């Protein structure tokens, strides 16, 4: 193979790779992607909750799960209306909402909100403030009693 042909082939391959990279979906920019926070869920108890965050541009999703709240009734999948409220450093609030919980059927099963979606501004730092889930007459409200660890989500 001639050296000039090799160089042309490499340049073409590099251009193809760069165009594929430019067309790829944007990666999650949120950091951290996982955090914990202490919560008080009233009659359900107090303890630690885990938050998992994802971001794609201004669209974001957070899943809230905790062993503090456990099933006493069966709830079908995608049936609980949930609102997660986060606060920013300036006292503003952003809400994430959803109705995508997994089925909650086993006595003692830990709570999982499923992905809750919201809109964020790039560079925005948000920390969990509260979560409310409802299904029929069932209402669960949890309030954060500590700062997030390792820190707020920065989108």
**Cβ-Cβ contacts under 8 Å for 19 (sequence gap 6 or more):** none
Q: Are 126 and 87 in contact (CB under 8 A)?
A: yes
Supply φ then ψ for residue 23, to 5 degrees.
-90, -10
- The separation between CA 95 and the C-alpha centre of its own chain, rounded to angstroms, equals 12
If you search the block for the tokens 């979906």, which residue do you land on?
25
In the chain, which stretches have pLDDT less than 70?
1-28
User: How far, in Å, CA of 45 to CA of 119, rounded?
Assistant: 30
Instruction: Give the Cα separation of 80 and 101 in Å (integer).
Output: 6
Domain regions of the chain by residue span: 34-154
The model's pLDDT over 124-144, given as tens digits with 9 standing for 90+, comes to 999 999 999 999 888 999 999
φ/ψ of 8, rounded to 5, equals -65, -40
Quote the pLDDT of residue 51: 98
Q: What is the pLDDT of residue 20?
A: 41
What tens digit of pLDDT does each residue of 42-62 get?
998 999 999 999 999 999 999
Do β-strands 93-98 and 81-87 pair in parallel, antiparallel, or remain unpaired? Answer: antiparallel
What class is the 34-154 domain? mainly beta
Angstrom distance (rounded) from CA 86 to CA 53: 12
Structure confidence at residue 27 (pLDDT):
53
């Amino acid at each position: 193979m001639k050296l000039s042909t090799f160089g042309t082939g490499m340049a073409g391959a590099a251009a193809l790779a760069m165009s594929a990279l430019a067309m790829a979906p944007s990666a999650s920019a949120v950091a951290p992607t996982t955090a914990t926070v202490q919560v008080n869920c009233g009659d359900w108890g107090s303890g630690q909750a885990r938050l998992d965050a994802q971001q794609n541009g201004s669209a974001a999703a957070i899943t809230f799960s905790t062993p503090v709240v456990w099933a006493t009734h069966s709830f079908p999948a995608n049936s609980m209306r949930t609102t997660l409220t986060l606060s920013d450093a300036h006292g503003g609030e952003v809400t994430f909402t959803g109705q995508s919980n997994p089925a909650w059927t086993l006595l003692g099963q830990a709570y999982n909100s499923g992905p809750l979606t919201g809109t964020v501004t790039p560079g925005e730092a948000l920390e969990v403030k509260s979560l409310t889930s409802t299904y029929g007459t069932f209402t669960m409200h949890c309030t954060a009693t500590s700062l997030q660890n390792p820190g707020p989500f920065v989108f």
